[in-house]
Structure formats: C-alpha cells, structure tokens
Amino acid sequence: MSQSHTDYTSRFAIDPAAAAAMGTDELRHNFHIDGLFQPGRISLTYTHYDRMIVGGAVPTGAPLPLEAIKPTGTKNFLDRRELIAVNIGGAGVIKAGGQSFELQARDMLYLGMGTNDVSFASEDKDVPAKFYLLSAPAHQAWPSRLIRIGDAKRLDLGSKNTCNERSIFQFIHAEGVKTCQLVVGMTQLAPGSIWNTMPCHVHDRRMEAYLYFDLAETARVFHFMGEPDETRHLVMRNEEAVLSPGWSIHSGAGTSNYAFIWAMAGDNVDYTDVDPVTMGDLR
C-alpha cells in the first residue's frame, strides 16, 4: 500500500454563548486554521459547519492524489461531495475524471460530485502550486469547470476615503458555474485600503471561511468575529484561514492591503442574501 500524503483534523460546531466565554487560545483552537500549505502534503480540516472541508495541497514532487478521509464515510473523496480548488502559488495542473486542467495563480477549478482520480501537480517544484481546497456535500453532479481569474465576475467597490477600495472576483454566481451549495470568490484590496466587509453582516443560512493571503511576513490582519453585540478578534498571518459560523460577523482590518478568498456553504447560493449589521449594533 502506498504511503498517504494526506493529513486531516476535525472542528466541532461552537455556539455563540460558548464562543463569547472563550479566551484567545480557545478561539484560535476552534476557529483559526494554520499549516494549510505543507510542501508535499494535502492538509484538510473537516468542519461541522455545514460539513465544509477547508484544505491545502502543495505538490513538490510526484502528483498528490485526493484521497478519501474517514469523516466523509465514502470510498472516494467526491462520491457525495463537490470541490473547488483555487491556486494561489506557481503554475499547477489538476487531473480529474480523465481530464487535465492547467491553473495559473488565482485560477479556480470546480469539480462536481462523483469526480474520481483527482490529483494535484506543480509545473515547477521549485515554485510549487498552492491549491486552496474547499468542499461541501452535494446532491447533484454538475460539470467540472475551470474559471480563470480574468473570466470571473468583477465588482469594484469601496473608496480610499473609507479605506476599503477593493475588487471582488466572483468565481461562483447565479449566472455562472452551477454548484450544489459552494459559493466562492476572491477580494483584492487596493494599496492603502485595509478594511474588508465593514459595515458587516451575518447570514444564518450559510457558514463562511476566509483565507487571507498576499501578506508580507510581518503584516497581519485583525479578523473580527462573534455576535454583533459580543465581538472578538483573531490575529491572522499570511495564508491562514478562519471559520465563520452563520451567527458570526466576519470582517477584518490589516496592517497593509491584502487579498482573501471567501467561501460559503449552506441553504442557498445567493451571494446577496445577508442580514446587515448597523454600526450602532456593534460592540
């Protein structure tokens, strides 16, 4: 039997009252995810928030196969799941279901339920691809689709005056690629802008995960979470992720501009279906 190149951990769902009583270490243990991008490994976090799996794959030698893990309870990883991979590293190749897809930095690949024989490779092991992986349960097999960053739906929002000038790239939206429940996009903040998702919101119908990247080694993002009247924060480094339950706000301010990938799973795929939080309700 060949040696596995996959590691996984699990995160149980936390209710808002329990989160409000947590200190820094407990909050980080339950909501913060680091170590996603390990050379030559696939690292996965299985969450009990809408059964979302968040992970990373960094192929540095032979292609890394997408292997089933015990929590999915299936022979193959995608037997009852869909998956999105976003490349934030060097050029890479994903093979899936007999097809081969070449991904440059910030390109995204959607793989539908039932896709087998999935593997990840880098074109140059010295500048490896870094595939950010997101997977949720699926009820229907939609076709696999490659979406290049230039083909994503782009929205330019915010202003310098409010320090939130940004470009939103919607990979998955109502007029585009069909999914069962995954909704994924990327936001790039302009130089001089540091705030994301403020004014903030919640959406009890869906959980969300953020991956912060394009941060200098000494830069940080202060990610805000919790119920609107009971907020907390986590300090995020480059290429770290954070889980956001449906009851929690999700917003951040950086020591410089940055990019982040946002991903949701839950009861609908309506990007605009949120419950706004006024500035006066925040504490």
When pLDDT is cut at 50, 70 and 90, the band that residue 273 belongs to is: confident
Is 32 assigned a ligand-binding role in the annotation?
A: no
pLDDT at 179: 95
Q: Looking at the DSSP assignment, which residues form a beta bridge with residue 45? A: 9, 54
Residue 200 predicted with pLDDT over 70: yes
pLDDT at residue 175 tops 90: no
Query: Is the bond preceding 199 in cis, omega lying within 30 degrees of 0?
Result: yes
What pLDDT, on a 0 to 100 scale, did the predictor assign at position 272? 81
Q: pLDDT confidence of 124, banded at 50, 70, 90?
A: very high
Residue 195 has pLDDT above 80, yes or no: yes
**According to the annotation, is 230 in a ligand binding site?**
no
Mean local confidence (pLDDT), 10-17: 97
| Residues contacting residue 62 through CB under 8 Å, at least 6 positions apart | 121
Position 83 scores a pLDDT of 98
Q: Is the pLDDT of residue 102 over 80?
A: yes
| pLDDT value of position 271 | 79
Would you place residue 3 in the very low, low, confident or very high pLDDT band (cuts 50, 70, 90)? confident
The tens digit of pLDDT for each residue in 85-98 reads 999 999 999 999 99
Give the Cα separation of 106 and 87 in Å (integer). 5
What backbone phi and psi angles, to 5 degrees, belong to 8? -145, 155
Position 32, amino acid: H
Q: Which two tokens stand for residue 113?
A: 């339920």
User: Rounded mean pLDDT of 148-173?
Assistant: 94
CB 169 within 8 A of CB 118: no
pLDDT score, position 99: 97
Whether residue 201 is annotated as binding a ligand: the answer is: yes
Task: Please tell me the predicted confidence (pLDDT) of residue 162.
Answer: 94
Rounded to an integer, the average pLDDT of 182-200 is: 95
* Per-residue tokens: 169: 């790239």
Task: Give per-residue pLDDT as tens, 36-82.
Answer: 999 999 999 999 999 999 999 999 999 999 999 999 999 999 999 99
Lowest mean pLDDT among 38-52, 110-124, 262-276: 262-276
> Is 5 known to sit in a ligand binding site?
no
Across the chain, mean pLDDT equals 96
Give the per-residue pLDDT at 2: 66
Q: How far apart are CA 283 and CA 270, in angstroms?
A: 28
